[in-house]
Amino acid sequence: MRSKGYRRGTRSLFSQDHRKHGVAHVSRYLEKYEIGDMVDILVNPSMMKGMPHKYYHGRTGRVYDVKPRSVGIALYKRVRGKYVIKKVIARVEHVRKSRCCEESQKRIREISEMTKEAESKGMVLPPIKRKIEGPRKEMVISLENNQPIEVGYEPHIVIF
């Protein structure tokens, strides 16, 4: 009979790396979280208070509430074929800022700068859609020092 405890099956999930045991660094506590920030939930097993369930380890959500020592995170969980918004409260030791939106935010900044430049110069905005990288350009390979190799499948041989 399997146990159905809250932390079952977490022997390797909630174990720290070799020579990485101990309490969290001060930088974890000094991180500033605001409502709307995207955060990753990464459980720190040395801190048992405010530890979220193992399901949420490695998940990304949005901060909806900030408290003195903890953060409220809203994220989606798949329940029987549909996605339900779940709200988790975790201490700051188990949370870190996510880098999931960095590229899109950088691109938005670049596009806004391009529009400002185009408006100031009175020009039309160049196309901002990202283009698909096409096929490689043609090239000629000399056979001077390159012997062609015949590539094919090996015939199937019945051994027995």
Closest CA to 31 of 102, 93, 106, 105: 93
Q: What percent of the chain has pLDDT over 90?
A: 78
pLDDT at 159 over 90: no
pLDDT greater than 80 at residue 130: yes
Is the predicted pLDDT of residue 57 greater than 80, yes or no?
Answer: yes
- C-alpha 52: how far from chain center: 18
Instruction: Report CA 39 to chain centroid distance, whole Å.
Output: 10
Say yes or no to pLDDT of 1 above 80.
no
Q: What is the pLDDT of residue 157?
A: 86
Q: HSE-up of 17 (CA within 13 Å, CB side)?
A: 1
Confidence of residue 153 (pLDDT cuts 50, 70, 90): confident
Domains and CATH numbers, the chain: 26-97 (2.30.30.70)
Q: Kindly give, in sequence order, each residue whose CB lies less than 8 Å from that of residue 69, ignoring residues fewer than 6 positions away.
A: 50, 91, 92
Strands (E), 9-55: 38-41
**Is 160's pLDDT higher than 80?**
no
Pairing state of beta strands 82-91 and 95-97? unpaired
**Helix segments in the chain, DSSP class H:** 26-30, 102-121
Look at residues 109, 149, 100 and name the one whose alpha carbon lies nearest to residue 128: 109
| 76-125 per-position pLDDT tens digit | 999 999 999 999 999 999 999 999 999 999 999 999 999 999 999 999 99
Share of the chain above pLDDT 70, in %: 100
Backbone conformation region of residue 122, classed left if phi is above 0, alpha if psi is from -120 to 50, else beta: left
pLDDT beyond 80 at 152: yes
Which strands sit side by side in the sheet containing 95-97, from one edge to the other? 82-91, 70-79, 60-66, 38-41, 95-97
Tokens 């798949």 belong to: 78
pTM for the complete prediction?
0.75
Written as one string, the DSSP assignment of 116-137 is HHHHHHTPPPPP-SPPPP-PPP
